[in-house]
Amino acid sequence: MDVRFPSRQGLFSNSTVHDALGLSPPDSGLNQNDAILVSTFVGIDAEPRPMDQAELDGLGDAFTKRFLSKGVVPLTLRDLLDGIDGLDGDEALPDRRVFLVAEGGRHRLGNPEFPLNARLVFSWSPAFSRPVMFLSTVPSLDDPTALLQLVAWSEVDTTFHFFERRQGRWTWAGNSMTAFDDRARGKGPCDSHINGGLVMKELKAPWAHWHSQSSSIPFELLEGTDFGKHPGMSAIDGAELLENLVKAGVRHWTRSRIAKRTQNDRISLPRELAQHLTHATSANLVGATISYPPPQGEALTLPVSFFLDVDTFRAVDKRLGVATPILPTKAVAVSPEDYVGAIGELEIGVVAANGTRVPGDTTFCFVVPERAFEDVTVVDLMLREELLSARLALCILLVDFSNPVRSAQREALLRHFPEAPVELSAAALDAPFLASVQANAGAAIESEFLSYWNDPDIVGRARSELAAVVCAVSQLASTSQGVVEIVRLAEARRNLFRKRKLNEFSSTTARAADDVGFWRMTKSGEIVPGDNFS
């Protein structure tokens, strides 16, 4: 069995930017084949560039400090595991965790032709501290060509650094700030680490595709690999633990990023930060916590974040200080018979890269995209730091609120945020944004925003409108045809997700046999033809 599965399109070795660290290309005369670490630039440098010792020492991340700066170059998974186990003193990383993800794991059990996209994720931490290194790899100990992609935190520049072992050497693919350089954005590691932080697509229960407390991946599927042949990968932790580690890492990096953007009493790039409120720069996948096919007689509760941007609304709710939460408590549930019927009517199945198709859903029902945790975290910290007001955030979120992941209407509001630096003060972005919107008050989207902004009972109105759409969706979900419409909308949104480079494997999400087209939900809960974001 070939276990050398790439973990994302494009891999890491395609991009980096010197000035992300303020470095200049060295005139060292090094041959790239002899260099300990090589960097490359997509669209900037025509060929890989060897890094000299001064540059290497200047990175300051947990990986280069412990290994490469000392001339120690672990080129296989075994080398790396043994090397980390041998660290002691202040450099020791005693807390090791191992996680397993495998798209197609369940489907391969009954169909050996279905590819198993199995990867291991390691994290290493100093004692009683957060992780400083993460590794994405495959269970192959000694293959010098098998996947090794590493993310390490640097206290020197307070960013994550991205590395990949490729073609017999390690390549440096930049740091977290590289993601915001226009020349590198969306390339190399920045294709999926679009905001420079850690990425775990299935970040909430049921952690679709991960070995977790919700679903075990049978270890017999890893027969023929090196899994279990090294003490470092003999036991697997649950994805519920990885969720906490990734979220902590995203928060840590976001605090660092906002600090970098708010120096000298100025917000240096306000529109860059505001984009996380108006746009879904990335996405996570969430699903119902019931496996497919759902048992008869038990209601199938759908994730509310598919219908409303619940996490960002909650972040705003905390800053408003209201006694009654804005979000409704009513759940949206469908009958298992109607759900299975809708899957059949739309001919939904899980399709592997080799064309093997298994009718039905993924391991869990209704796996769909939701607003990314990294976007929510930026908005939450902006509210905490009073970079924008909770009222402004609420009014923007209410524009086309029934389409939480992608909304052409809400995205159009980004143009009203300033690009130039603004003063760092309470609600610093409110005044220039409002001035720009009011100057265009006759336009439909701006008018919709202002109708919220000027409402003296905006909280009450928000609470009423959000509750109304959930009630309307619940009514729609009570009929078999309504469930077909909801599943069709889910497929339309999965199609948008599949256009992202974050979509690594064709079997990550189920798909309809035919293109369902573009659909959106109105504020009254009606599903209608929608926007093409291609």
Decide if 136 contacts 146 (C-beta within 8 A). no
- Look at residues 222, 233, 187 and name the one whose alpha carbon lies nearest to residue 117: 222
Q: Which two tokens stand for residue 20?
A: 């992300």
Q: Helix or strand or coil: residue 153?
A: strand
- Look at residues 517, 243, 497 and name the one whose alpha carbon lies nearest to residue 362: 497
**Residue indicated by tokens 């041959």:** 31
pLDDT in tens, 178-202: 999 888 888 878 888 999 999 999 9
Decide if 117 contacts 126 (C-beta within 8 A). no
Residue type for 464, please?
A: S
Neighbours of 97 (CB within 10 A): 18
Q: In whole angstroms, what is the distance from residue 121 CA to residue 101 CA?
A: 8
Residue 111 class from Cβ within 10 Å (0-12 exposed, 13-18 middle, 19+ buried)? middle
Helices H / strands E in the chain, number of each = 15, 19
Q: Give the CA angle between residues 100, 104, 110 to the nearest 5°.
A: 120
- Look at residues 304, 293, 363 and name the one whose alpha carbon lies nearest to residue 333: 304
> 76 phi and psi, to 5 degrees?
-130, 165
pLDDT in tens, 29-88: 445 567 899 987 655 556 788 999 999 999 999 999 999 999 999 999 999 999 999 999
Residue 198's pLDDT is what?
Answer: 97
Alpha-carbon 520 to chain mean position = 22
200: left (phi over 0), alpha (psi -120 to 50) or beta: beta
Q: In whole angstroms, what is the distance from residue 506 CA to residue 503 CA?
A: 8
Distances in Å between the Cα of 126 and the Cα atoms of 92, 97, 255 are: 6, 12, 21
Q: Helix or strand or coil: residue 189?
A: helix
Burial 318-334, CB ≥16 within 10 A → b, else e: ebbeeeeebbbeeebbb
Decide if 105 contacts 363 (C-beta within 8 A). yes
Burial 254-263, CB ≥16 within 10 A → b, else e: bebbbebbbe
Residue 46's pLDDT is what?
Answer: 61
> What is the sign, positive or negative, of the torsion defined by CA atoms of 16, 21, 24, 26?
negative
Q: In whole angstroms, what is the distance from residue 209 CA to residue 201 CA?
A: 10
Decide if 295 contacts 284 (C-beta within 8 A). no
Decide if 211 contacts 226 (C-beta within 8 A). no
Alpha-carbon 112 to chain mean position = 30
H or E element at residue 393: helix 390-398
Stated pTM of the model: 0.92
Domain ranges of the chain: 18-245, 262-529
- Look at residues 453, 475, 471, 474 and name the one whose alpha carbon lies nearest to residue 462: 453
Q: Which two tokens stand for residue 369?
A: 């995209």
Decide if 63 contacts 161 (C-beta within 8 A). yes
Q: Give the CA angle between residues 177, 178, 181 to the nearest 5°.
A: 100
Q: In whole angstroms, what is the distance from residue 277 CA to residue 256 CA?
A: 18
Residues of the chain with pLDDT under 50: 1-30
Q: Which two tokens stand for residue 3?
A: 């276990």
